[in-house]
Structure 1
Amino acid sequence: MDNPSKFYNITHGYLTFEQAYKQILSFIQKDVKASYLLSIGTDSHVHRAETKFMTAIHLHRVGKGAWGCVRPYIASRAIRSLHEKISLETALSQEVAMLFSNERLAAIQDLIIPHLEQGADFRFEIHLDIGKRGATKDFIQEMTGRIVAMGFDAKIKPDAYAAFCYANRYTK
């Protein structure tokens, strides 16, 4: 994965954001009566001479599968400050979340709304790779505050699987 301006999906290869968004719509259209959770999350790994970040877009059809893609970002130095690393992870998630404009989120909701009585649902969350245990606990208020200030729901470990599970597998 060497194209930081594009998203990568294991089946579809490199995608622009617009192509990824169309894949999301297509995935939802296959079962508009399902419950969906669209989450954005970033994880990173410090290597000897660089820090590799992966921002995930993860669409979970609850109980019935998922679709996702990741966008790489490489910092050309090893970031040793935990606060700086977590702050950059949060910023990268915010950047991708902003690609989901009100119009794009409304288009997704328009697919689901007619089917609410049949159990359909849609939620949008930002997943942060921080938790109440360990060194990242000191950053919870600051990082979740940044997400909430944008008008989005923020999730931390253990509920932040888009960051610490899905994105994580691509950072090594």
Structure 2
Amino acid sequence: MNEYYTFYNVSEKNMSFHTVIDRLKEFIEKDPRSTYVLSIGSDSHVHQKETKFITAIHLHRVGKGAWGCLKNEMAQRPIMSVREKISMETALSIEIAYYFTSQYLNDLSDLLIPYSDEGADLIFEIHLDIGKKGMTKELIQEMTGRIEAMGIEAKIKPNSYTAFSYANRFTK
């Protein structure tokens, strides 16, 4: 992956994707007997002269906390079309999720395999900022289809917390 992709969170700035993988491994190694949900989600906010997109990587140790990081992207114009914004958010999430397939996802899963009889598991999802209510309901089939074509489970509201909650906090 190109090191152009820099991630950050409240504790650390300018993380490369390889550093993110290391942090995810460190988080799993602290409790390898747990179930984890690794999710990618994006959200956006239209400002006066630009649209800010945030893509989040979120690793939830179910019932026991989480680790996450973010990546900024800017469109140098206000994007007023809901379809265009949601399509961009979906594309940004897919782009980051693509890098988890194969080697990195296997590396994370390998940490849990010795503990699978004790409940250890890793679930991989993309979270979309769309739901069955409001203007985005017409986009559900199209956007989830793009993700499911990659063999990744797509989550929509109210189950898509990485997009509508975590990423959303940082778009303003």
- TM above 0.5, yes or no, is yes
Deviations 1:53-100 (A, max 9, x none): 000000000111100000000000000000000000000000000111
Letter in 2 for 1:145: G
Match of 2:42, SS state, is strand
Match of 1:9, SS state, is coil
Residue 165 of structure 1: aligned partner: 165
Distance across 2 between alignment mates of 1:143 and 1:165: 19
Letter in 2 for 1:106: N
Residue 56 of structure 1: aligned partner: 56
Residue 17 of structure 2: aligned partner: 17
Residue 98 of structure 1: aligned partner: 98
Match of 2:78, SS state, is coil
Letter in 2 for 1:70: L
RMSD: 0.8
Letter in 1 for 2:49: A
Percent identity, aligned pairs only? 58
> Is 2:156 aligned against 1:156?
yes
Residue 37 of structure 2: aligned partner: 37
Distance across 2 between alignment mates of 1:26 and 1:48: 40
Pairwise CA distance, 1:5: 2.9
* Displaced runs of 4 or more, over 2 A: none
Residue 109 of structure 2: aligned partner: 109
Letter in 2 for 1:14: N
Pairwise CA distance, 1:101: 2.8
Residue 71 of structure 1: aligned partner: 71
Letter in 2 for 1:105: L
Distance across 2 between alignment mates of 1:84 and 1:13: 29
Give the gaps of 5 or more residues in structure 1.
Answer: none
Distance across 1 between alignment mates of 2:122 and 2:48: 41
Give the gaps of 5 or more residues in structure 2.
Answer: none
Deviations 1:91-115 (A, max 9, x none): 0000000111311111111111111
Distance across 2 between alignment mates of 1:160 and 1:45: 17
